[in-house]
Amino acid sequence: MERKVVSLQGKELRSIELSDSVFGLPINEDVIYYAIHNELANLRVGTACTKTRAEVHGSNRRPYSQKGTGRARQGDVKSPIYVGGGIVFGPRPRDYSYVLPKKVKRLAMKSILSLKAQNGTMQIVEDFTVETGKTRDLVKKLEALASNDSPERTVVILAGDDAAVKRAGRNLPWLHFLAFNRLRAHDLFYGRKVIVLESAAKGLNEFYADK
């Protein structure tokens, strides 16, 4: 698959060859769902907790006599039917995380990359950096590729851990940065625009190549 590399001004510079085994696969919606569900589950802290009737504070004596009142018998005020009593089958601390097979993860990432390449939301852009690390300088560089007036969720795939670019983009809630070898299915799938640096595209070709 051949795609054009564009400049920061949106002009075509040259062509780059993208691997069909990474960017030209049929879209597998099932594995995409599994990968996103796995990421969201692994982010859950699982700290929700309620107290049972054995844990709430209160007396063990009966609130009134069992017989002679005409009312229903009650054991103690910690019963779940009382306000402030214990909770039946409430949430307890738990670990929601689980491991997804590596082959499923890789196929999910390649399916999302193929989806973005085929529906025209992916652009290959010449390498750039922001030496100053300032947000306004990054916005100037991206103004031809991503509008700041009505911004859409934009994902930039970097060739490595460029701290200056990431620092410049911290104040832009619509902009997300991913390294080519540490993609996140959720961010990548829901990105309305995907900007791939030229060196990152070459890295994706090699990293996700069939082995």
pLDDT at 48 over 60: yes
Report if residue 90 sits inside a domain: no
Buried b (16+ CB within 10 A) or exposed e, 20-52: eebbebeebeebbebbbebbeeeeeeeeeeeee
Total domains, the chain: 1
Report if residue 18 sits inside a domain: yes
pLDDT in tens, 52-79: 999 999 999 999 999 999 999 999 999 9
Q: Kindly report the average pLDDT of the chain as a whole number.
A: 91
What does the alpha-carbon distance between residue 119 and residue 83 come to, in Å, rounded to a whole number? 55
- The whole-number average pLDDT for the span 182-201 is 94
Residue closest to 128 by CA, chosen among 140, 110, 141: 141
pTM of the model: 0.84
Report if residue 65 sits inside a domain: no
Report if residue 143 sits inside a domain: yes
Report if residue 137 sits inside a domain: yes
What are the φ/ψ torsions at residue 87 (nearest 5 degrees)?
-105, 135
Report if residue 9 sits inside a domain: yes
**What is residue 12's predicted lDDT score, i.e. its pLDDT?**
87
Structural domain span for residue 116: 2-29+101-207
For residue 184, the domain's CATH number is 3.40.1370.10
With tokens 């601390």, the residue in question is 93
pLDDT at 150 over 80: no
Range from 119-133, 136-150, 175-189 carrying the lowest mean pLDDT: 136-150
Strands 122-125 and 2-6: parallel
**What is residue 160's predicted lDDT score, i.e. its pLDDT?**
84
Report if residue 197 sits inside a domain: yes
